[in-house]
Structure 1
Amino acid sequence: MNLKKEYDLIVIGGGASGMMAAITAAREKKSVLLLEKLSQIGAKLKATGGGRCNLTNTLSSEEFMAKFGRNGRFMQDALKEFDHKDLMHFFKEIGVETHAPDGFRVFPTSHSSQTIINALLDEMHRVGVEILTSQKVQNILQADNQICGVKTTEKTFYAKNVLIATGGLGYPTLGAEGDGHEMARELGHKVTELYPAMMPLFVKESWVANCRADTIAKVELRVAIKKHSKLKAHGDLIFTKSGIRGPVVLDAARELTPLLERYGEVPILVNLTKGMNEEQILKHLKKEAAKDPNATMLELLTTLLPSSLSKELCTLAEIDPLLTNSKISGAQRAKLIQLLAYTPLTVTGHEGFKMAMITSGGVDLKEIEPKTMQSRVIKGLYFCGEVMNLDGPCGGYNLQWSFAGGHLAGLLRKNT
Structure 2
Amino acid sequence: MKLLVVGGGGREHALCWALAASPLLTKLWCAPGNAGIAEVAECVPIGAEDIPALVAFAQAQAVDLVVVGPEAPLTLGLADACAAAGLRCFGPSAAAARLEGSKSFTREVADAAGVPGARWARFEEADAARAYIRAQGAPIVVKADGLAAGKGVVVAATVEEAEAAIADIMESRVHGAAGASVVIEECLLGQEVSFFALCDGTTALPLGAAQDHKRAYDGDLGPNTGGMGAYSPPPIFTPALQDQVMAEIIRPTLAEMARRGAPFRGVLFAGLMITDAGPKLIEFNVRFGDPECQALMLRLRSDLLTALLAACDGALAQFDLRWDPRPSLTVVMAARGYPGAYAKGTVIRGLERAASVPGVEVFHAGTARREDGAVVANGGRVLGVTAMAETVASARAAAYRAVEAIDWPEGFCRRDIAHRAL
Q: Could you state the TM-score of these two structures normalised by the residue count of structure 2?
A: 0.30
Higher relative helix content = 1
Higher fraction of strand: 2
| Structure label with greater radius of gyration | 1
Larger RCO, structures 1/2 (Cα 8 Å, 6+ apart):
1
